[in-house]
Amino acid sequence: MKIGVFVSVVAGQMGFESNVSGHIQVPMQSIEELRTKGHDVQLITNEFSEDRSLPFCLAKDIEIHFVTDSRNRGGVLERTGKQGTGFSFMRLIRQVSEIKRICKEQEFDVLHLFGYNRTAHLAGGLRLFGLKTPVVVTIFGTFFPEKFSFLTKRLWKRVDAVVTATSFVKNKLETEGIPTTQISHGVIRHIVEEYEGPELSAPHRVLFWRDLTVANGADVAIKAYETLAPKYPDVDFDFAVRQHWDPVKDIESRAENYPNINVYHFPYDEGITLPKLLLESLCVVMPIRNMSIDPQLVIAETLATGRPVITTDQRSNPEFVIDGKTGFLTPIGDVEKTTNALDYLLADRDRCIQIGVEAKEHIDTHWNWDNYVNEILEVYNRVIHR
């Protein structure tokens, strides 16, 4: 089968080629799974400037078609346009025209788009304005109610099939009257396999590995760390973070008051890697307020290493973290319950390790790539022969 895959933003900021967001990782892995099964898959993505580069996870031999970007967005160090703004109608017209031309020239059997609501609007618009190729959209997360819903509802109806990975997103879409197929995928990064280095130390860390922002709950994590660092002097309480345009600004100065609270910035100093930090951790604290994707891949990838996760009880998180069994779920912004959950794990290291074992078993069983290709091909064949 000949498949076109559209991902609006694949290129990232220069120097961050190995630090890739989930909305890029999932379609890149989907492409590889399909190609491994013998299908011809080509990538369509927006053009990018010289200060950006393609990620390492993108296959070097894949055929790529670049189209006009209809948005104006910044990188991980700045934000020149907020989500939902910086939109150009004229650039959108060019983008639609270019995608239609590519699909016609390449004679794709199906066009598969990955993204959020606006990606579905683009897919529906392509069909509305004459694209003959059936369109399938994988939705990472939903945002309702929509502005101009009288128009967007018509665009959703033009999409031939909607797919998502989690029950949470499926239920949200079907509440809006959008039929949805759930196809669960596996983890992307196999962090245990990534580690290359000397023998690891025994687990002795607590790790937060997200951007250092309020949206990711960094303020909650530092308060929990400050409470427990004196109680557990044998434990390192670590932040592993990349640069961001809006970090919590006082965390590093507060960490200096405690000998066992550390902040590591990507790219890390020699001898420090994310696999090392994670595989030497007892557990991970991820008190996320605002989730950008369902599932949040850092949670799944952490659980796959056999480390319990303390995260917020929202959206698709309960599909991954079974409270008290594979980790703990806490209310958003609740410092006390986050601290108590972390204290429980550190006070009983044997139980902490057992919870990690159960976490890995749960992920390996329910979230893998074993059936992905067969299930997505069923969707493709359905829309092709409709």
Range of the domain at 46: 2-185+369-384
Considering the domain architecture, whether residues 53 and 175 belong to the same structural domain is answered as: yes
State the angle between helix axes of 372-384 and 22-36 in degrees (0 to 180), rounded to the nearest 10.
80
Considering the domain architecture, whether residues 343 and 228 belong to the same structural domain is answered as: yes
pLDDT at 14 over 70: no
Considering the domain architecture, whether residues 7 and 150 belong to the same structural domain is answered as: yes
Q: Are 287 and 312 in contact (CB under 8 A)?
A: yes
Considering the domain architecture, whether residues 162 and 203 belong to the same structural domain is answered as: no
Instruction: Pick the closest to residue 118 from 98, 144, 100, 94 (CA basis).
Output: 144
- Comparing 245-249, 277-281, 380-384, which segment has the lowest mean pLDDT? 245-249
Considering the domain architecture, whether residues 360 and 374 belong to the same structural domain is answered as: no
List, in order, residues 6 or more apart from 128 with CB less than 8 Å away: 154, 155, 158
Considering the domain architecture, whether residues 151 and 223 belong to the same structural domain is answered as: no
Considering the domain architecture, whether residues 168 and 215 belong to the same structural domain is answered as: no
Count of domains for the chain: 2
CATH code of the domain containing 307:
3.40.50.2000
Considering the domain architecture, whether residues 116 and 221 belong to the same structural domain is answered as: no
Instruction: Please state the pTM of the whole predicted model.
Output: 0.90
Q: Looking at residues 168-181, what average pLDDT do you find? A: 98
Q: Report d(CA 353, CA 305) in Å as an integer.
A: 11
Considering the domain architecture, whether residues 14 and 118 belong to the same structural domain is answered as: yes
The SS3 assignment for 366 reads helix
- Read off the pLDDT band of 13 (50, 70, 90): low
Considering the domain architecture, whether residues 101 and 143 belong to the same structural domain is answered as: yes
Considering the domain architecture, whether residues 373 and 362 belong to the same structural domain is answered as: no
Tokens of 93: 């017209």
Q: Looking at residues 58-71, what average pLDDT do you find? A: 89
- Comparing 70-79, 178-187, 212-221, 345-354, which segment has the lowest mean pLDDT? 70-79
Q: Report d(CA 48, CA 69) in Å as an integer.
A: 8
Considering the domain architecture, whether residues 271 and 221 belong to the same structural domain is answered as: yes
Identify the residue whose tokens are 């030497």.
280
